[in-house]
Amino acid sequence: MTEKLPLRSEVPTELTWDLTRLFTSDEAMQRALQATQKRAQALAAMKGQLTSAAKLLQVLQAVKTIDEELEQEYVYAFLRRDSDTTDATATALFGQAAQAATQIETALAFIDPEIIALSDEQVAAWQAAEPGLAEFAFQLAALRKQKDHVLAGEQERLLSRLNRALDGASEVYNTLNDADLDFGQIRDETGQLVQLTHGNRSQFTESTDRTVRKAAALAYQKPYHALRHTFAATFNNFVDSQNALAELRHYPSARAAALGRNQIDEAVYDTLVQTVNAHLALAHRWYALKKRILGLDPFYQYDIPTPLAGGDQLKTTYQEGQAMVLQAMSVLGDEYVAGLKQEFSQRWVDVAENKGKRSGGYQISAYRANPFILLNWTDKLYSTFVLAHESGHAMHSWFSQHHQPSEYANAPIFLAEVASTFNEHLLTDWLLKKYHDDPQVELYVLEQSIDGFIGTIYRQTQFAEFEHQAYQQQQAGETLTADALDALNEQLLKKYYGPAVELAGTLTQSWAYVPHFYMNYYVYQYATSWAISTSLAAQVLAGQPGAKERYLAFLAAGGSDTPAKVLAAAGIDITNGQYLTEALQVFAHRLDQIEALLAQMAAKD
């Protein structure tokens, strides 16, 4: 008997997101999109007319309205497409939205250069004369700081026209990864044939049956290896486009461009890599411990996910996961819990995996509606952690939408990942307290926490090193071939895994399967954010005076100031690596806890 994924039409309605909160139908969305395009055309007629404070305010308010409308239309199409990437109608609808977004961006590309061309004295005089401009003060200041990187009006228009083509590699990758890969079938612990998918992979790779997890790991690697040259060419094209854009905008590198847009100093990136490299012994200690406790020699990559507790100690349905998240987050107070209850009761979440559905999990929001979350639920504790993580994103959006105008409601990723990983820390603490008298569950939860540090600080820093070195090689004129990427990946795997772990299978999968490489210097922020949230969560859980209020104010701030200033108000200084060191000290404490628990359990046997 073979287990097959349900079709989208077969998924219960209550487990799908309610897109009528955006539009009642595809036709309604298309009508709204046409109206937004007309509004943008009318605004485009103001090119060259930015001659007064009133005109500047009119333009900024019009852009704000267009952005809100386009976001709602784009998010609807995006979610329709991701619900089932094999649905031709949904794919075509997303294509319409993406094309319209490019056309609107092209039509309005004159605005930023015209604002930047104004003198500081002129902008200051207009702001003094027109009170309505106060709302846009930070937006104007941030834009004008990019003066050296914004091109002349016609150049910006042409560049905007090319955006879809420049993003083509990302679209090709997502289609290939989500719609076209077939991982085949494997036999589970009972000998039953099951279809391996993105969504169910972890339940087999974490099996206590070594035959099953090896088969799952190698089967998952197989299509990536078979298409390694295609994946390499796609990645090379994406990196090339980002390096070219950086050069066109007069940045020394794509990294400088990516971090500069959010006013993040490149030293933050380098400090992360240096600090984590200085603490690699902690990760190596963990792998050596697992090797010893599991009694496996050699100890392969596919053995790492094996739970020391001997299998899943906590199976959680979606309803149980919701209850756990609500209880764990209650420390943040009534307003936060009220937001979560809306999320769960009003179908902001798309829960179940179905054929063609986008893999993984994410949150995306529309200012005029609400946040939406994509999950691919399995009844593992891991899925509850994903729900907590994405709900952190959703509540960040929900709080900022209720406290900020739309232009500041979307926090930059550097801040957004703090809110998501913060929730993981609260969930871990709640679980450890709840099951403190159950050694097996406590062991399981401690390992989940340790895996969080490994997967988020160490793994994402490894990815950050891979990404940056790949960009540097491509910028230097090298082509990122599959062999070159495999070689780079091998060096980093050996360094991060250390002497206890033997590599197994293809080297391609562990770089080709990472969709965040198509988001341009995204992955490092997972590591920095995990470290920051470790500190903030510790303050809240310890009941430090004002800690909860500072954290809720952080959520409400959205993107209304630079990440450094928003975090400083919350109590974190990112200008040095102290927050990283403190987080890794917590990781060391978790290792001490699990070693002590294992010793106690061994003494009782």
Name the residues annotated as catalytic.
Answer: 390
Q: Which of 73, 74, 68, 85 is nearest to 28 (CA)?
A: 73
* 106 contacts 160 by C-beta, under 8 angstroms: yes
Q: Which of 366, 411, 321 is nearest to 19 (CA)?
A: 366
* 526 contacts 417 by C-beta, under 8 angstroms: yes
Residue length of the chain:
605
* Terminal alpha carbon distance of the chain: 40
- Please tell me what DSSP assigns to residue 411: -
SS3 61: helix
Instruction: State both tokens at 148.
Output: 């050296």
SS3 306: coil
Instruction: State both tokens at 314.
Output: 């906590």
Q: Which of 413, 449, 414 is nearest to 430 (CA)?
A: 449
Dmax (CA) for the chain in angstroms is 82
Which phi and psi (to 5°) does residue 372 adopt? -130, 145
SS3 265: coil
SS3 367: coil
C-alpha angle 62/65/67, rounded to 5°?
A: 105
Helix, strand, coil percent content, the chain, rounded in steps of 5: 70, 5, 25
Distances (CA, A) of 535 to 285, 446, 572, 573, 585: 23, 18, 8, 11, 11
Report long-range pairs for 201-208 (Cβ below 8 Å, ≥24 apart): 202/305, 202/378, 202/380, 202/382, 203/378, 203/380, 205/302, 205/305, 206/305, 206/306, 206/307, 206/312, 206/380, 207/306, 208/306, 208/307, 208/310, 208/311
